[in-house]
């Protein structure tokens, strides 16, 4: 008699355990809760705020696309868009160029190879704010080591106004971003380079390929899938950069280095215009989506990667 209820409970539990869908949903629950609370809700809230006139300390009311209309006529916003695109474009190209070059060097048989590989990661592991502070000193209007060195060499007469002149400031923050971003690109591409079998290079050199031809016909095409992933991430990181600008220039001089992320913060938090700040942040989404789509199509398996067993 006492056995019956236990047996029943077992079978009920058994039915659920046997249903893969139910078990699957059950195990997905923690991750789903986490994603909804910390990603979907804030994102949704941000989009919603973009359609309100919320200010700090005051719930906004729905005002439709008024914020966006205001932004469309806001020269500072367009300056930030221009800066962001320029910043992302130039920094990504430089990071790719230097990163690939560095990866190729590190892929050769060098003495102390693993030491160099480790050291190359340093800019990446140093907290951004710390390296930005160091750059702040390097770019200081009076005490810059670059100005000092050039003056000692007799190449210039006075210190360079790194962060005070709009174009100098843009170049300076791009240089700092490139310095910080190269390791990620270099190490990822190095990993990609190491998947290319040595025998392919040997076969190509027997086929009469010069060093450049081996790079052009073997290395580069075989590296494209990795390049697509790495550069997508690099572009996303650069486009949404905030810390470096905030420490170095705070968007100045005269908004010349404001990126969309810093402008959004500036308007939303210190400026108190939550709705407008949110609208600027939302305006970044199309750009990010475009770069993700670009990589999605770039990442699709190429024809030569399909078929076969191994």
Partner 1 sequence: MASVEFADVRKSFGTHPVIKGVDIKIEDGEFVILVGPSGCGKSTLLRMLAGLENISAGEIKIGGQVVNGLAPKERDIAMVFQNYALYPHMTVADNMAFSLTLKRASKAEIEKRVKPAAEILGLTPLLDRFPRQLSGGQRQRVAMGRAIVRDPQVFLFDEPLSNLDAKLRVAMRAEIKELHQRLKTTTVYVTHDQIEAMTMADKIVVMHDGLVEQIGAPLELYDQPANLFVASFIGSPAMNMIKGKLDPSSTLKFKTDNGVELPVAKAPESAKGRALIYGLRPEHMTIVDGGIPAEVVVIEPTGSETQMIMRVGGDLVTGVFHQRINAKPGETVGLSIHAEATYLFDAETGKRLV
> Contact with partner 1 (CB under 8 A): which of 142, 152, 167, 199?
199
Q: How far apart are CA 242 and CA 38, in angstroms?
A: 20
Taking the least distance from each CB to partner 1, the nearer of 286 and 307 is: 307
Which of 12, 56, 202, 254 touches partner 1 by CB under 8 A? 202
Q: Which DSSP string do the residues of 273-288 spell out, in sequence order?
A: -HHHHHHHHHHHHHHH
Contact with partner 1 (CB under 8 A): which of 104, 200, 228, 299?
Answer: 200
Determine the interface stretch with partner 1 among 38-46, 136-144, 177-185, 203-211 (rule: CB under 8 A).
203-211
Using CB under 8 A, pick the residue from 24, 57, 64, 307 that binds partner 1.
307
Q: Which of 24, 111, 158, 208 binds partner 1 (CB under 8 A)?
A: 208
Which tokens is 283 given? 């305006």
List 47, 160, 193, 204, residue binding partner 1 (CB under 8 A): 204
**In terms of C-beta density within 10 A (0-12 exposed, 13-18 middle, 19 or more buried), how is residue 162 classed?**
buried
Kindly give, in sequence order, each residue whose CB lies less than 8 Å from that of residue 215, ignoring residues fewer than 6 positions away.
Answer: 104
Smallest distance from partner 1 to CB 106, Å: 22
Q: What is the DSSP letter of 217?
A: I
Rule CB under 8 A: which of 211-230 touch partner 1?
A: 213, 217-218, 221-222
- Residues 218 and 204: their CA atoms lie apart, in Å, by 8
Tell me whether residue 4 or residue 199 sits nearer to partner 1 (CB atom).
199
CA distance 212 to 205: 11
Residue 203 as a binder of partner 1 (CB under 8 A): the answer is yes
Q: Does 112 bind partner 1 (CB under 8 A)?
A: no
Q: How many residues bind partner 1 (CB under 8 A)?
A: 25
Give the residue among 276, 238, 279 at the shortest CA–CA distance from 259.
238
Is there a contact between 241 and 259 (Cβ–Cβ < 8 Å)? yes
206 binds partner 1 (CB under 8 A): yes
Is residue 109 part of the contact set for partner 1 (CB under 8 A)?
no
Question: Which span sits near partner 1 by CB under 8 A: 1-9, 20-28, 289-297, 302-310?
Answer: 302-310
Q: Are the CB atoms for 276 and 267 separated by under 8 Å? A: yes
Q: How far apart are CA 60 and CA 20, in angstroms?
A: 45
Count of CB atoms within 10 A of residue 257's CB? Answer: 26
Query: How near is the Cβ of 54 to partner 1 at its closest, in Å?
Result: 53
Q: Fill in the DSSP letter of residue 232.
A: H
Residue 156 DSSP SS3 = coil
Interface of this chain with partner 1, residues 159 to 198, rule: CB under 8 A: 197
Residue 120 CA to residue 116 CA, distance in Å, equals 6
Is 207 a binding residue for partner 1 by CB under 8 A? The answer is yes
308 scored as a contact of partner 1 (CB under 8 A):
yes
Question: Is residue 114 a contact residue for partner 1 (CB under 8 A)?
Answer: no
Nearer to partner 1, 112 or 155 (CB): 112
Residues that bind partner 1 (CB under 8 A): 197, 199-200, 202-210, 213, 217-218, 221-222, 302-308, 310
């Amino acid at each position: 008699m006492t056995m019956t209820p236990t047996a029943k409970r077992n079978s009920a539990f058994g039915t659920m355990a046997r249903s893969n869908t139910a078990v699957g949903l059950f195990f997905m629950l923690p991750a789903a809760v986490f994603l909804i609370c910390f990603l979907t809700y804030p994102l949704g809230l941000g989009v919603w705020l973009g359609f309100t006139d919320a200010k700090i300390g005051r719930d906004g009311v729905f005002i439709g696309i008024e914020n966006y209309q205001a932004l469309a006529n806001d020269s500072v916003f367009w300056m930030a868009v221009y800066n962001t695109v320029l910043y992302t474009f130039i920094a990504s190209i430089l990071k790719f160029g230097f990163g690939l070059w560095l990866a190729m060097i590190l892929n050769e048989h060098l003495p102390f190879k693993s030491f160099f590989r480790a050291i190359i990661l340093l800019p990446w592991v140093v907290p951004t704010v710390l390296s930005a502070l160091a750059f702040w000193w390097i770019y200081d209007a009076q005490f810059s080591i670059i100005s000092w060195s050039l003056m000692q060499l007799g190449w210039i007469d006075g210190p360079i106004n790194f962060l005070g002149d709009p174009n100098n400031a843009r170049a300076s923050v791009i240089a700092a971003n490139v310095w910080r971003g190269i390791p990620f690109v270099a190490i990822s591409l190095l990993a990609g380079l190491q998947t290319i079998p040595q025998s392919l290079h040997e076969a190509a050199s027997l086929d009469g390929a010069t060093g450049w031809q081996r790079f052009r016909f073997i290395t580069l095409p075989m590296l494209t899938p990795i390049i697509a992933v790495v550069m997508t991430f690099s572009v996303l990181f650069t486009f949404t950069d905030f810390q470096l600008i905030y420490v170095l220039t705070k968007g100045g001089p005269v908004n010349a280095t404001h990126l969309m992320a810093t402008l959004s913060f500036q308007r939303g938090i210190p400026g108190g215009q939550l709705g407008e700040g949110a609208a600027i942040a939302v305006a970044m989404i199309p750009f990010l989506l475009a770069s993700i789509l670009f990589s999605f199509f770039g990442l699709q398996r190429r024809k030569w990667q399909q078929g076969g067993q191994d």
